[in-house]
């Protein structure tokens, strides 16, 4: 290098404070405080290629304390990614490549969207699990083609969030030796010095998880951080936490070590004073040539990837089938025969006649697709025997081995966020399971999957009050309506085994958005369909039972309540009142259909009665002012399922009364 590390770190400080000042918004303190840590990791350890941010075997870097986004933007720009000075000048502006928090898909080199504290470290645990599982599956003696680290920066806020306990505890249990976390221990959060609200003994906490802990590292000494990272890499059996003592806003004479530098621009006067204090006489956004050259990692990155490409060519010659499989998975492509296999599965399920719970059909789907899709990696938040995710071919991941199943324990939020990391890493299609009502615990991670366009699959069973005596704490009421409001999320609530089989197939096909499968605990009657009707399930809503005379009303239902609708329709037909039954397993899919199709299913001139064992608010757009909504707008009760359906008037009789009242 032609420049010393002090100058290299100060380049990060200058770019960070200048970009925040220009935007008049942002968090300069953390990137200024972590400048030396960034220099040590990125310039001496991180294996990556700025010219190809998607190189399969790159190290993954996660900025969990994402509010300090100018740190990663400065590092990406300085090391040679396609992120220009003009992009840094556009920090936090509309449609820029440098949004307020790092956003996956906006900025080359950003692996995952961070900002909600704690979720970045959770994503990183998922990435480290993905590396471990892929290495176990594909590496062979003398051919280690999956061999990279996951590095994380985090701060006090991430450690205060409960999700950090969930995922770091699991990371220690799983022995994720290629996960290295650097803790920015600056003792400051938005409200000030954290001594009044965060006094954990963090090193002992992580030691109790089974981590290697390297404490009391001077975070402003590049060589000390360098040595700590090397020590972390030397322990292949445990994840590593490196506790770096730092000063927030380092270099700012009047605002360092203060929350004043945490989330506000320093101001022109303080920036001028900082320039003088750190010996940085250059204009805003100006990086001297010798410092830029010392930071430029494009040549090194190309060499590293070229060396790996040669190794992979040898691997391909020795193990051609494995090479093709790995490349397919990392590209996110499905096997060429997936459509045929899916059609065969749906046909097999359709040929069966028994009434089964849709959670059972979900297990059938996992069992069927797992051999075809080795990328399927599943798990449950300590409910595998209830969620039915424990299929015959599952191979649990442990500290000693890779596999395709994760025992998450009672960690719903951690599970969902780890799934996001598995998906973001590539080569994995994760699914995770819990009860629908406990989606409240994991909701923000589901939202992050939708935001990042990640195809995670959430198997949420016990989808209604029909779970019975567990009572209102376990009975979902508002959950379906709430999840349906989330942009870029597919929610399916199938009425029988065939709809469940189709829903699983569509979920696997859908790489660009997460899917929620809301599945029943109780057995559901198999509905009669034509082959054409089976094809229409994919549209999200379709005519299940067509009227046999003048159409008086439409019964619109989902899940177990479709049985109620078909029973009511049969009784109404005996009275010469003809209704149509529409099953709508996915409102989002239905709403995305062409207007012509939607109008053919739900003609505007016909009154609609909706039936769902949940909150009614979302159904008014379908029933209109002249229809009726049958549902539950209170919390549940503890009783047997039949008693509950009678109590909440989710019965064919109630539907018949609603139809008869339409004219009044």
Tell me the HSE value of 288 on the side-chain side, using a 13 A CA sphere: 12
- Sheet bearing 240-245, strands edge to edge: 60-63, 150-155, 179-185, 240-245, 212-218
Q: At what angle do helices 412-425 and 439-452 cross, to 10 degrees?
A: 20
The CA-atom distances, in angstroms, between 407 and each of 125, 148, 161, 389, 610 are 14, 24, 22, 10, 38
User: Among candidates 182, 252, 184, which has minimal Cα distance to 14?
Assistant: 252
The angle at the Cα of 362, spanning 359 to 364, to the nearest 5 degrees, equals 120
Instruction: Give yes or no for a contact between 404 and 377, defined as CB atoms under 8 angstroms apart.
Output: yes
Which position has the token pair 């379906």? 480
The CA-atom distances, in angstroms, between 658 and each of 631, 650, 652 are 12, 11, 10
Instruction: Give yes or no for a contact between 638 and 471, defined as CB atoms under 8 angstroms apart.
Output: yes
| Secondary structure letter of residue 528 according to DSSP | P
- Among positive and negative, which fits the CA dihedral 309, 311, 314, 318? negative
- Sheet bearing 608-611, strands edge to edge: 542-545, 578-583, 551-557, 608-611, 628-630
Tell me the HSE value of 376 on the side-chain side, using a 13 A CA sphere: 26
Residues present in the chain in total: 664
Active site residues: 412
Give the separation between CA 49 and CA 54, rounded to whole angstroms.
9
| Secondary structure letter of residue 524 according to DSSP | B
Give the separation between CA 481 and CA 518, rounded to whole angstroms.
12
Tell me the HSE value of 194 on the side-chain side, using a 13 A CA sphere: 18
The CA-atom distances, in angstroms, between 173 and each of 141, 234, 237, 405, 616 are 26, 18, 10, 14, 43
């Amino acid at each position: 290098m032609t420049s010393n590390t002090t100058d290299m770190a100060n380049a990060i400080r200058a770019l960070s404070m200048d970009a925040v000042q220009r935007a008049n918004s942002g968090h300069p303190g953390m990137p200024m405080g972590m400048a030396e840590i960034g220099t040590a990791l990125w310039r001496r350890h991180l294996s990556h290629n700025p010219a190809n941010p998607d190189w399969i075997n790159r190290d993954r870097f996660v900025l969990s304390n994402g509010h300090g986004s100018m740190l990663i933007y400065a590092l990406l720009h300085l090391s040679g990614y396609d992120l220009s000075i003009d992009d840094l000048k556009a920090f936090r502006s509309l449609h820029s490549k440098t949004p307020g928090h790092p956003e996956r898909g906006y900025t080359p080199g950003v692996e995952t969207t961070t900002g909600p504290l704690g979720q970045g470290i959770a994503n990183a645990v998922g990435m480290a699990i993905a590396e471990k599982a892929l290495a176990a599956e594909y590496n062979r003696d003398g051919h280690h083609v999956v061999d990279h680290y996951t590095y994380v920066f985090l701060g006090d806020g991430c450690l205060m969030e409960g999700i950090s306990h969930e995922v770091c505890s699991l990371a220690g249990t799983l022995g994720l030796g290629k996960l290295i976390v650097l803790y920015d221990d600056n003792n400051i959060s938005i409200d000030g010095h954290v001594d009044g609200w965060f006094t954990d003994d963090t090193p002992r906490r992580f030691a109790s998880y089974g981590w290697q802990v390297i404490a009391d590292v001077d975070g402003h000494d590049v060589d000390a951080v360098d040595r700590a990272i090397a020590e972390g890499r030397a322990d292949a059996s445990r994840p590593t936490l490196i506790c770096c003592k730092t000063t927030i806003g380092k270099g700012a004479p009047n605002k360092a070590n203060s929350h004043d530098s945490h989330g506000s621009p320093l101001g022109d006067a303080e920036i001028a004073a900082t320039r003088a204090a750190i010996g940085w006489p250059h204009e805003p956004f100006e990086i001297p040539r010798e410092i830029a050259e010392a930071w430029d990692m494009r040549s090194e990155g190309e060499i590293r990837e070229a060396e790996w490409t040669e190794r992979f060519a040898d691997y391909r010659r020795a193990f051609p089938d494995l090479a093709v499989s790995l490349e397919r998975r990392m590209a996110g492509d499905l096997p060429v025969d997936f459509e045929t296999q899916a059609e065969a599965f749906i046909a097999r399920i359709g040929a069966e006649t028994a009434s089964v719970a849709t959670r059972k059909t979900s297990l059938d789907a996992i069992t069927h697709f797992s051999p075809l899709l080795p990328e399927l990696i599943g798990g449950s938040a300590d409910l595998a025997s209830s969620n039915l995710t424990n299929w015959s071919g599952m191979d649990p991941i442990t500290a000693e081995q890779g596999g395709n199943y994760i025992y998450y324990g009672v960690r719903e939020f951690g599970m969902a966020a780890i799934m996001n990391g598995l998906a973001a890493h590539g080569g994995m299609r994760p699914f995770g399971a819990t009860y629908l009502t406990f989606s409240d615990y994991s909701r923000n991670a589901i939202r992050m999957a939708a935001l990042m366009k990640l195809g995670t699959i959430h198997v949420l069973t016990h989808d209604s009050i029909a779970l019975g005596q567990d009572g209102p704490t376990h009975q979902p009421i508002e959950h379906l309506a709430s999840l349906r409001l989330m942009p870029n999320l597919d929610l399916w609530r199938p009425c029988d085994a065939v709809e469940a089989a189709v829903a699983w197939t569509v979920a696997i096909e859908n790489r660009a958005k997460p899917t929620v499968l809301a599945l029943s605990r109780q057995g559901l009657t198999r509905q009669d369909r034509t082959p054409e009707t089976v094809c229409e399930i994919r549209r999200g809503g379709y005519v299940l039972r067509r009227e046999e005379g003048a159409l008086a009303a439409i019964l619109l239902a989902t899940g177990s309540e479709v049985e109620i609708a078909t029973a009511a329709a049969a009784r109404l037909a005996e009275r010469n009142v003809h209704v149509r039954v529409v099953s709508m397993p996915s409102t989002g899919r239905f709403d995305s259909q062409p207007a012509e199709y939607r109008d053919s299913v739900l003609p505007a001139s016909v009154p609609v009665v909706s039936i769902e064992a949940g909150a009614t608010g979302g159904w008014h757009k379908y029933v209109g002012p002249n229809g009726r909504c049958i549902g539950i707008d209170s919390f549940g009760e503890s009783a047997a399922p039949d008693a509950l359906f009678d109590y909440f008037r989710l019965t064919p009789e109630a539907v018949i009364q609603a139809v008869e009242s339409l004219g009044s």
